Amino acid sequence: MPDGQTLHWTQTATDGQARAGTLHTAHGDALTPVFMPVGTAATVKAMTADAVRSTGASIVLANTYHLMLRPTAERVAKLGGLHRMMDWPGPILTDSGGFQIMSLDKLRTLDADGVTFRSHLDGSKHRLTPERAIQIQHLLDSTITMVLDECTAFPATHAQAEASMELSMRWAALCRSAFIPRPGYGLFGIVQGGVHPDLRRRSAEALQAIGFEGYAIGGLAVGEGQSAMFDTLDVTIPHLPPTHARYLMGVGTPDDLIGAVQRGVDMFDCVMPTRAGRTGRAFTSAGILNMRNARHAEDTAPIDPACTCPACGRHSRGYLHHLFRCDEMLGPMLLTWHNLTYYQSLMRGLRTAILETRLASFAAQTRAGWQQTAPAADDA
């Protein structure tokens, strides 16, 4: 990246509404579409940094809310920032904590200038303002800082979603003023508005008037269902600038990723592949497998013959089944490794399909492959 240039996204190719491009940052480039493994507390659960890199991941996510509580942003700064502390020299995006604070429900109080909440860890009282959220992320040395927003709950009336969106837009402006520009770093705004098209349009327009290095779509995958999520993307994305990266927060299943990429989304994160790996579920080219199922007990086949991860290259389904039935920690480690490898492989496949203008056929073939898995009941 040339000296002094801000974090930015450039387009390489399109296929319909889908885009392939490159996110240029102070910590290296990330090819898009891109999936960011979630390292909430400065670690991707059950994975070393080398293991995460081996999956093909180029950018990871950490979380402001959790890190401000422990070890604190100030301590992270003393330890050299997230990149040094995590052994991750590549780009890091930090979620500002809006979703986590929403989930606190009765433990939080919102006002025009921020949120007061009690920690889920020990009940201690904390105050998070837009300015403090930006300061925390600066101390963490986040490559991509997210504005503080209120993640609107679902369902919400139009009036409730409007009030929530307007609060988020106020906070977004305060975050922009507090952000300290640095070459290769950036601040993303977050579009809110529930499932209401007029509110999504107003939010997108308000954020563009402020001006950000990228634009996220928040408040989805909170219970509205895939159809409503896709409908909301359809009415939101046309109001976002085509020159900037688009990030769909907290999404999702492999099918969600395909549908969102087809609609023009560039960036994703979700706990699903890591959480599924810890509970015995494997995402594969033939659908989802539950490694706890008895039908895998004596199966010598790999989880997915098309996968290159260590779990597939060195071990059988029978061995993974054994590890989970014995509650051995290696089971979640191997299956998390596999799931993240599968997600990165899917993203590479989507990017290649866009570059070769065959996204529709790639999506259809991938979805058809998922239908191969025969249904099986969980073990008793």
Tell me what pLDDT residue 3 has: 67
Q: pLDDT at position 372, please?
A: 79
The pLDDT value given to residue 380: 33
CB atoms within 10 A of CB 370: 15
Q: How far is CA 96 from CA 27, 120, 179, 188, in A?
A: 20, 16, 13, 10
Q: Between 371 and 106, where is the model more confident? A: 371
Which letter, b or e, does each residue of 158-174 get, where b requires 16 or more Cβ atoms within 10 Å of its Cβ? eeebbebbbbbbebbbb
Paired with 116 in beta bridges are 109, 127
Q: Lowest-pLDDT range, 80-84, 85-89, 119-123, 326-330?
A: 119-123
Contact 214, 245 (CB under 8 A): yes
pLDDT band at 368 (very low <50, low <70, confident <90, very high): very high
CA torsion 258-262-268-273 (nearest 10°) is 0
Residue 234 confidence (pLDDT): 98
pLDDT confidence bin for 106, thresholds 50/70/90: confident
Amino acid, single-letter form, for residue 249: M
Q: What is the pLDDT of residue 156?
A: 96
Do residues 141 and 124 touch, judged by C-beta distance below 8 A?
no
* Total Cβ atoms within 10 A of residue 155: 12
C-alpha–C-alpha distance, residues 325 and 136, integer Å? 41
> What is the average per-residue pLDDT within 185-200?
98
What's the rounded Cα separation, in Å, for the pair 243 and 241? 5
Question: What would the pLDDT profile of 208-225 be if each residue is shown by its tens digit?
Answer: 999 999 999 999 999 999
- Residue 269 annotated among the catalytic residues of the structure: yes
> Of residues 95, 149, 256, 304, which has the active-site annotation?
95
Of 150, 138, 80, nearest in space to 111 by CA: 150
Which comes out higher in pLDDT, residue 4 or 127?
127
Q: Across residues 335-352, what is the average pLDDT?
A: 98
pLDDT digits (tens, 9 = 90+) for 15-71: 999 999 999 999 999 999 999 999 999 999 999 999 999 999 999 999 999 999 999
Q: Which range has the worst mean pLDDT, 128-132, 200-204, 372-376?
A: 372-376
Asked if residues 97 and 68 have their Cβ atoms less than 8 Å apart, the reply is yes
The pLDDT assigned to 373 comes to: 66
In this prediction, residues 172-181 reach a mean pLDDT of 98
Angle between the N-to-C axes of helices 226-236 and 197-210, in degrees from 0 to 180, rounded to the nearest 10? 50
Q: List the catalytic residue out of 15, 149, 266, 269.
A: 269
Nearest to 254 by CA among 375, 332, 339: 339
pLDDT at site 379? 41
Q: What is the DSSP letter of 377?
A: P
Higher pLDDT residue, 102 or 100?
Answer: 100
How crowded is residue 74: how many other Cβ atoms within 10 Å of its Cβ?
Answer: 12
pTM: 0.96
95 is catalytic: yes
First vs last Cα of the chain: how many Å apart? 55
The proportion of the chain whose per-residue pLDDT surpasses 70, expressed as a percent, equals 97
pLDDT of residue 104: 79
Please tell me the total number of residues recorded for the chain in this structure. 380
**Residue range 250-277, pLDDT digits in tens:** 999 999 999 999 999 999 999 999 999 9
Structural domains in the chain, CATH included, are 8-270 (3.20.20.105), 277-370 (no CATH)
C-alpha separations of 171 from 59, 246, 286 in Å: 26, 20, 44
For the chain, give the mean pLDDT: 95
